[in-house]
Chains A and B, each alone.
Chain A
């Protein structure tokens, strides 16, 4: 059981290049999330998908787009990468059952992205 798998693990881009980060989960979870983690800061939510077919903005969505391809896969796209998007990106999933549901999120091991 792989859990949440993210690809690639590392990537270096030049400013202006585009990139899609891939995420897949095999736990049949309905909700999926994309976070970024910067030094000295906790995880900040970029976008999320409460269920297949829906996506919504999180705390820091500017410069990103997402696609919930199917129940398993949720991708994050940078259309024109900027140095400020240098970060570690984490994908997570959980079996969300509505407000008050405390099913924990399960995280992948991250994609380390550097933009020069």
Chain B
């Protein structure tokens, strides 16, 4: 079935280092993918999205890469800061669910000072 999932449940990174969060998907018909950040006690917050006709998109300190050949996308956070500690979700529309978003299980990023 269609799914959007994450490889690692927890990522521990040193402050100042780059973080890479990975996500695999099975629905090759998705028009776009979105990354959300969820801090403790808060709702998910939009970070960045990428359309399926793109390979790369950059935002402020974040870059999303999309590899359609292997159905994989990643979120790279440059110079990780303590405020980046959160759970990160990838999401994509599911054709089987009427183009509604399907969320992965999330990766928790822990930033060590």
Considering only residues 91-113 of chain B, those with a C-beta below 8 Å from chain A are 91, 93, 97-106
Given that A42-B89, A42-B106, A102-B49 are contacting pairs, would A108 and B43 also be in contact in the complex, using a CB cutoff of 8 Å?
A: yes
Nearest A residue (CB) for B6: A42
B71 within 8 Å of A (CB atoms): no
- A54 CB, nearest partner CB in chain B, Å: 12
The interface size bin for chain B is: 20 to 34
- B91 CB, nearest partner CB in chain A, Å: 8
Contact check: which of B31, B49, B89 meets A100 at CB < 8 Å?
B31
Considering only residues 62-116 of chain A, those with a C-beta below 8 Å from chain B are 90, 92, 99-100, 102, 104-110
**Bound complex: CA A105 to CA B49 (Å):** 11
Contact check: which of B32, B34, B103 meets A42 at CB < 8 Å?
B103
Contact check: which of B44, B97, B98 meets A43 at CB < 8 Å?
B44
**Bound complex: CA A44 to CA B32 (Å):** 19
B41 within 8 Å of A (CB atoms): yes
Nearest B residue (CB) for A108: B43
Given that A99-B31, A102-B32, A107-B44 are contacting pairs, would A58 and B103 also be in contact in the complex, using a CB cutoff of 8 Å?
A: no
- Ranked nearest first, the 3 interchain pairs of A and B with the lowest CB-CB distance are A107-B43, A42-B103, A104-B46
